[in-house]
Amino acid sequence: MMPVENYLNKWNKIPADVKSFITRALAILIVWKVIYLVSLFPGRVLDKPLSYVVAGGTAWTLNLTHSGTYFIKNEKGMVNTDTGPAMVPVYNVYFHNRSVVSIEDPCNGLELIVLYIGFIMAMPATLRRKIMFIIAGSVAIYIVNVLRCAGVAYALLYYPNQADFAHHYLFTFVVYGLIIALWLIFSRKLNLSHDQTNR
């Protein structure tokens, strides 16, 4: 049997509702990537304001313990990209005159929010339920991401030996754990075959 026919046979064995979800999710992903890479990414249409509010929220959160000593600056920073080191726009969070953490565009949570929204949009549910979960979930992801950035800054200041682990593993696990929890809550009462009956 040809490999293509083998994959088609496997695809045909998947339940119709699951195939519908996969098809919708892939369509949403492709449309988003095209719009983002062609229109939004070059001018940082979404990234710039989101990075700013994440940096501002991070400084505000840190100032709860050290009032007025954390502030942000819009600067350029050297970061490692897929094509090597490059100077990119960043929002640096300063403690007095020391930069403690940089909020780069990949750290602003946009891809996580889009991933979360894409899953919600691909699932069968009423528009009201989708809108409610999209708004509440996006706000929750933003808040947890701000807490993550503040946690990284705190670790870099006071526990530098643990900062790398906290940044790349611990806080990432917490953010993805939240997203999965939100998806599970959203999916709990869905009837995949009768999406219009879900409230």
pLDDT digits (tens, 9 = 90+) for 34-65: 999 999 999 999 999 999 999 999 999 999 98
Asked whether 113 and 141 are in contact (CB, 8 A), the reply is: yes
> What angle, rounded to 10 degrees, do the helices at 127-158 and 171-187 form?
170
State phi, psi for 188 to the nearest 5 degrees. -55, -40
Residue 89 within a domain: yes
At residue 195, the pLDDT reads: 45
At residue 84, the pLDDT reads: 75
Give the residue-averaged pLDDT of 154-183.
88
Q: Which residue has the higher pLDDT, 1 or 72?
A: 72
Residue 119: pLDDT band (50, 70, 90) is very high
Q: Which residue has the higher pLDDT, 3 or 124?
A: 124
List CB contacts of 188: < 8 A, sequence separation 6 or more. none
Per-residue buried b or exposed e for 103-134, using 16+ beta carbons within 10 Å of the residue's own CB:
bbbebbbbebbbbbbbbbebbbbeeebbeebb
Q: Which residues span the domain enclosing 110? A: 15-197
Residue 196: pLDDT over 60 = no
At residue 2, the pLDDT reads: 60
Residue 124 within a domain: yes
Residue 81: pLDDT over 60 = yes
Residue 152 within a domain: yes
Give the residue-averaged pLDDT of 148-163.
89
Residue 192 within a domain: yes
pLDDT tens per residue across span 24-34 = 999 999 999 99
Residue 19 within a domain: yes
If one counts the domains in the chain, the total is 1
Residue 160: pLDDT band (50, 70, 90) is confident
Q: Which residue has the higher pLDDT, 94 or 9?
A: 94
Residue 29 within a domain: yes
Query: In the chain, pLDDT over 70 holds for what percent of residues?
Result: 92
Residue 7 within a domain: no
Residue 80 within a domain: yes
